[in-house]
């Protein structure tokens, strides 16, 4: 029962912080900590949900051939930008696995980070691109954003990161 409480507390904390916006770097840091703790709880198989019996069983690596991401790089630093700038970076990957790669979803850590991804399967040895667009409006200071990709790989999720130092629109650039 205590584990359910921890899990629900983490979810509520993430929801609360997400609803208050993502311009506060302390909130961003806390969200990242809570997401990390939630992943730990989920991967250890200690979380349960009374509404979902399947949640009591941890994910297991599927049998048979699997696709695999090989990114040229998984992080990108936009450097110093000005509040209101919209910047994007394209992450290139190769399917180095043994089966076609299918990306089910890609989600930004908040509404200011929007990913686009290929909707068609990527064949073994094929390449693809995931673009992360970051809108810096109203987000001064150091920004660290994540794009979580869910695919038919093992593990099921892969995280890409973008960061920037956002200066106020009327402040001089460093």
* pLDDT band with cut points at 50, 70 and 90 for residue 169: confident
Any idea what DSSP says for residue 45? T
What was the pLDDT predicted at 50? 47
* pLDDT band with cut points at 50, 70 and 90 for residue 170: confident
> How far is it, in rounded angstroms, from Cα 145 to Cα 108?
7
Q: What is the CATH code of the structural domain delimited by 69-167?
A: 2.60.40.10
Please give the average per-residue pLDDT across 34-48, as a whole number: 61
What was the pLDDT predicted at 125? 97
The pTM for the full model equals 0.66
What is the residue extent of each domain of the chain? 2-56, 69-167
- What digits encode the pLDDT tens for the residues 49-71? 445 445 556 678 888 899 999 99
DSSP-H helix ranges across 23-77: 25-44
> How far is it, in rounded angstroms, from Cα 53 to Cα 41?
16
Q: Is the pLDDT confidence value at 121 over 50? A: yes
3-class secondary-structure state, position 39:
helix
Peptide bond into 155 cis (omega under 30): yes
Please give the average per-residue pLDDT across 149-161, as a whole number: 96
């Amino acid at each position: 029962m205590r584990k359910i409480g921890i899990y629900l507390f983490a979810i509520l904390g993430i929801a609360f912080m997400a609803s208050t916006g993502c311009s506060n770097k302390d909130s961003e840091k806390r969200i990242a900590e809570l997401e990390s703790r939630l992943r730990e709880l989920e991967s250890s198989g200690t979380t349960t949900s009374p509404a979902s019996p399947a949640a009591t069983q941890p994910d297991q690596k599927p049998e048979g051939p699997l696709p695999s991401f090989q990114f040229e790089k998984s992080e990108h630093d936009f450097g110093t930008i000005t509040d209101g700038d919209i910047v994007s970076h394209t992450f290139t990957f190769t399917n180095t696995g043994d089966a076609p790669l299918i990306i089910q979803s890609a989600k930004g850590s908040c509404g200011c980070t929007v990913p686009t991804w290929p909707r068609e399967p990527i064949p073994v040895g094929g390449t693809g691109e995931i673009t992360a667009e970051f809108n810096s409006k109203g987000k001064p200071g150091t920004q660290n954003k994540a794009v979580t990709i869910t695919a038919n790989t093992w593990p099921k999720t892969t995280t890409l990161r973008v960061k920037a130092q956002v200066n106020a629109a009327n402040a001089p650039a460093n």
